[in-house]
Structure 1
Amino acid sequence: MGAGKRGLIATAVTVVCAVTVLAAPGTAFASPDPTPSASASPTGGSGKDLEAVREKLDELYHDAAVATDSYNAAEEKAEKQSAAIVDLAKKIVKGQKKLDELKDRAGAAAAAQYRSGGLPDEAQLLLSDDPQEFLNGAGRVLQGQRATKGLIAEMTRTQEDLKQYAADASDQWQKLEANRKAKEAARKKIKKQIAAAEKLESQLEKEEKERLAKLEQEAALKAQTAWLDSGILDEISAKASEQGKKAVEFATKQIGKAYEWGAEGPDTFDCSGLTSQAWLNAGHGIPRTSQEQWKQLKHVDIKDMRPGDLIIYFDDASHVGMYIGDGAIVHAPRPGRTVTITGAGSMPILGVVRPDA
């Protein structure tokens, strides 16, 4: 490794780690393997006891993040289903209007045919002063009969379309109701997990909370340092695309805004709300949830990532941050925290995806 490269990495480590420590209140779901301190807590508990609290908080907020993804997914599906129902309703109205017009035309054609059908064709030919005119008229009648048959066939198709539209609308209503229930269940779980975490934190003394924050910092710093020590920054050198630059610019402008589950801005965000809105602002829509971002967007190797790419965290893809370069991400961590910059390796990385591949 060249001296210049070592200097760059050392600088990046210093900057990112400093940012991680300064932004520690915004660090969520830190590595579960910090080095606990043996110092006693003000209430007589040991550092090990506080470490257990930290791990429990991570677990509660992680479960809340998973439930938030479920909530966001259900909401997104419900919005699509509502739009589909509106579209089907418009088709039903349009189809019913068309059917009414077809019925009017069919009725008029039937009445005309009835009026001209009082005598057999042979009698009408014998009584006609102009046989050629009669034959011309008979041809028109034949055309009219064919048109009537076509009209009836079109009416039948329109009725079948209306029946299918109604069936589709009913199916969409059932799916919409199912997603409303899923959304409500996720909402209850989110509130339950957050309430449990807040209760746990509220039981700590001021000094214990400060020590807990320090444990979070230490855990994040340890994980980030290990990630940087692997030499990964030696391999990451790709430049941001134009859209990527816009996405990073948008995301970093949100620093300091509060985390709120289910939020997509402009004043509050959850993790995937921030990344999806950043890329939408850059002119490229992406899935709403971190799990769908992981499923649908193109996967790239960590060494090939560039600013604007999304780093997906944890085995269940329950968290996402945006890579901004120099080994750092911007993300919306968890309830009680704000949008912040932290080390890209401060949480377990599942993989990297590229929205504008």
Structure 2
Amino acid sequence: MRRSVTGHRCRTTAAVALVCAITVTAQGAAFGVPTPEPQPDRPTSLGEVRKKLDLLYHEAEVATDAYNAAEEKTEEQSTRVTALAEDVAKGEKRLEELKSRAGAAARAQYRSGGLPPEAHLFLSDDPQQVLNDVSLARQVQQGTTGLLVALTTTQKDLRGKAKDASDQLRKLEASRKAKANAQTKIEERISAAEKLESKLKKEELERLLAMERETGAEAQSTWLSSGIIKDIKREASAQGEKAIAYASLQIGKPYEWGAEGPNSFDCSGLTSEAWAAAKRPIPRTSQEQWRQLARIDINDMRPGDLIIYQRDASHVGMYIGDGSIVHAPRPGRNVTVADAGSMHILGVVRPDK
């Protein structure tokens, strides 16, 4: 029986507590007592912060590659549109000249009355002159035929160029839109990353940087322990040395998305400009560098070659020997020398093969 009473009291106490809680909540709502605002999802540890930052900066780098590709297409298409516009203008001028000549020929034929040569011969007092005129008329007729052919050809060519120009304008507009969309995405991701970092204390930022270095060092150690560097004994080519010299001179300059010097660089801006300085133009973006340049087995790598990183080829650095690269890391960082194996390696390409 006592056990039953105790249980009853416990249930009663719980019920009273529940009623009180409901009453307080209701009063709080009625009298405007502030309730905690829902907090946005945010990392709860430095490890999660680092993962979030890595994701944001990676997405920004992917968008930067898209921006650079769209910018390159925009420049090419703009040049093409300008050239086509000049061709169309020349074609229109040529067409007007041909129309003028065709009109003059038609008016001359009208003034002659359109009589056949036999009639002119019969009516003329100077048959020989008529025969000479007939010969000249045939030449004029042949010239008129050629004029009409030229007129038709020019009209057809002009229509083709006008259509080509219209198509290029549509492509140009699409490239400009893709460029603007990529720029928006870059700015959003970088802004989100900077906002996240701004909430960290100085000690947390230092610890975050230390974690980044530790992770990179572990990856480098694993890469080196495979013995791969022992097999890499090759020297840079003459052009490779020039590319390395250029890239090395940029150490300390800030990363800036879409930049290709001289005061700031993004990753592929640095490598493309370095090889341009070596008189060997290469594609502007890391993805196109991976797609178009000759791929090299990592055991055959030599200084000056480009190491492409991440599975989507979104980052690139230049190998300078001794297991190191020079690269432009990400927003907020400067061009620097780093361990070649500190990031996921997709492959190696050689610009001067």
TM-score between the two structures when normalised by the length of structure 2: 0.85
2:107 pairs with one of 107, 111, 117: 111
**Whole-angstrom CA distance in 2 between matches of 1:123 and 1:169:** 52
- Map Cα deviations across residues 308-333 of structure 1 (whole Å, 9 max, x no partner): 11100010000000111111110000
1:305 pairs with one of 301, 305, 326: 301
Distance 1:118 1:67, change over 3 A: closer
Q: Which residue of structure 1 lines up, in the alignment, with residue 321 of structure 2?
A: 325
Q: Which residue of structure 2 lines up, in the alignment, with residue 260 of structure 1?
A: 256
- Map Cα deviations across residues 182-225 of structure 1 (whole Å, 9 max, x no partner): 11111111111111111111111111111111111111111111
Structure with bigger gyration radius: 2
The secondary structure found in structure 1 opposite 2:45 is: helix
**Whole-angstrom CA distance in 1 between matches of 2:351 and 2:113:** 70
Counterpart of 1:335, as a letter, is P
Q: Which residue of structure 1 lines up, in the alignment, with residue 94 of structure 2?
A: 98
Q: Is 1:63 matched up with 2:59?
A: yes
Runs in 1 of length 4+ with deviation above 4 angstroms?
Answer: none
Counterpart of 2:195, as a letter, is K
Q: Which residue of structure 2 lines up, in the alignment, with residue 226 of structure 1?
A: 222
Q: Is 1:246 matched up with 2:252?
A: no
Q: Displacement of 1:131 after TM fit?
A: 3.0
- Which aligned pairs between 1:68-79 and structure 2 lie closer than 5 A? 68-79=64-75
Q: Which residue of structure 2 lines up, in the alignment, with residue 10 of structure 1?
A: none
- Map Cα deviations across residues 48-104 of structure 1 (whole Å, 9 max, x no partner): 921221121111101110011111111111111111100100100110111111112
Gaps of 5+ in 2: 1-43
Q: Is 1:271 matched up with 2:291?
A: no
Q: Which residue of structure 2 lines up, in the alignment, with residue 291 of structure 1?
A: 287
Q: Displacement of 1:179 after TM fit?
A: 1.3
Q: Which residue of structure 2 lines up, in the alignment, with residue 5 of structure 1?
A: none
Q: Displacement of 1:115 after TM fit?
A: 3.0
- Identify the structure with bigger relative contact order (alpha carbons < 8 Å, sequence gap 6+): 1
Q: Displacement of 1:117 after TM fit?
A: 4.0
TM-score between the two structures when normalised by the length of structure 1: 0.84
Q: Displacement of 1:126 after TM fit?
A: 2.6
**Whole-angstrom CA distance in 2 between matches of 1:306 and 1:296:** 19
- Map Cα deviations across residues 29-65 of structure 1 (whole Å, 9 max, x no partner): xxxxxxxxxxxxxxxxxxx921221121111101110
- Which aligned pairs between 1:313-352 and structure 2 lie closer than 5 A? 313-352=309-348
- Map Cα deviations across residues 232-275 of structure 1 (whole Å, 9 max, x no partner): 11211222111111111111100000000001111010000111
Q: Relative to structure 2, which stretch is displaced further, 147-156 or 110-119?
A: 110-119
Alignment length (residue pairs): 310
**Whole-angstrom CA distance in 1 between matches of 2:116 and 2:222:** 100
1:163 pairs with one of 145, 159, 166: 159
RMSD: 1.4
Q: Is 1:80 matched up with 2:103?
A: no
Q: Which residue of structure 1 lines up, in the alignment, with residue 24 of structure 2?
A: none
Counterpart of 1:142, as a letter, is R
**Whole-angstrom CA distance in 2 between matches of 1:180 and 1:299:** 31
**Whole-angstrom CA distance in 2 between matches of 1:186 and 1:333:** 19
**Whole-angstrom CA distance in 2 between matches of 1:88 and 1:327:** 49
Q: Displacement of 1:118 after TM fit?
A: 5.2
Q: Is 1:280 matched up with 2:266?
A: no
**Whole-angstrom CA distance in 2 between matches of 1:120 and 1:343:** 92
